[in-house]
Amino acid sequence: MDSNEHEPAGGAAPSPPRAPGIAGLSTPYRVVTALALGVVAVAACTHLAFVFLHVAPSNTVSRQHAKTIDSWIYPEFEQNWKLFAPNPLQQNIAVEARADVRGEDGELVTIPWRDLSAEDGEAIRHSLLPSHTRQNELRRAWDFFTGSHDEDNKPNGERGQLSEEYLRRIAVNRLAPGLREGTILRIQLRSATTAVPAPKWSTETTDTQTYYRELPWWTL
């Protein structure tokens, strides 16, 4: 067999095998890739630092840069420790609403309480892709309200007034579709709080009675 039978045409030597990964790129592409990886690494570390300062106990750094941290965290990256410590949630809190409706005949009717939280729960139960709105909108709105009002349901500053408007808008949007023949004149909301019963093997006694917190009527 001729010794030149397997040589490339023209007698050119075969090119060396290309190195795998970034090492196989040309110098300009390696520089660009390294810079991109560096930017991603810096962004990831910065994000983790902000999240850590947000969930960590208050300290000098978190107090000094509170506005910067909050602007980065809220609303997409909010974190809290309610699931773990020191006090895991031990209550079921449902938000209910009712309304005074003026019918087409002029009659004023008060519709019964509707459990908006139960409707949200039914909408996401067994759903493979549950709605983020159904999971969190009403719950967060109620937390916003209770966190900005005193026990007499009086607002603590501008955030309290804003929370009332937000909660009222959610309630109207939930009630209005079912009241095609009539006009909502005013609405009222309340919470129904029930403690989660202790497990059967526990000797702890739990008061499972439902307690209500009624808000005043809001005129639309």
**Stated pTM of the model:** 0.61
How far is Cα 51 from Cα 74, in angstroms, rounded to an integer? 10
To 5 degrees, how large is the angle CA 178–CA 183–CA 186? 100
> Per-residue b/e over 10-40, b at no fewer than 16 CB within 10 Å?
eeeeeeeeeeeeeeeeeeeeeeeeeeeeeee
How far is Cα 139 from Cα 142, in angstroms, rounded to an integer? 5
Tokens encoding 160: 């309290």
Tokens encoding 217: 């009527």
Domain boundaries, the chain: 9-73, 91-219
Reported for 162-166, long-range contacts at CB under 8 A and 24+ positions apart, including other chains, are 164/218, 166/141
Residues 6+ apart with CB under 8 A from 197: 206, 208
**Helices 132-147, 116-124: inter-axial angle, 10-degree rounding:** 150
Show pLDDT as tens, one digit a residue, over the chain (220 residues). Answer: 555 555 555 555 566 666 666 666 778 888 888 899 999 999 999 999 998 988 888 888 889 988 898 888 876 777 666 656 556 678 899 999 999 999 888 889 999 999 999 999 999 999 888 888 888 899 999 999 999 999 999 998 888 999 999 999 999 999 988 887 789 999 999 999 999 888 888 888 888 899 999 999 999 8
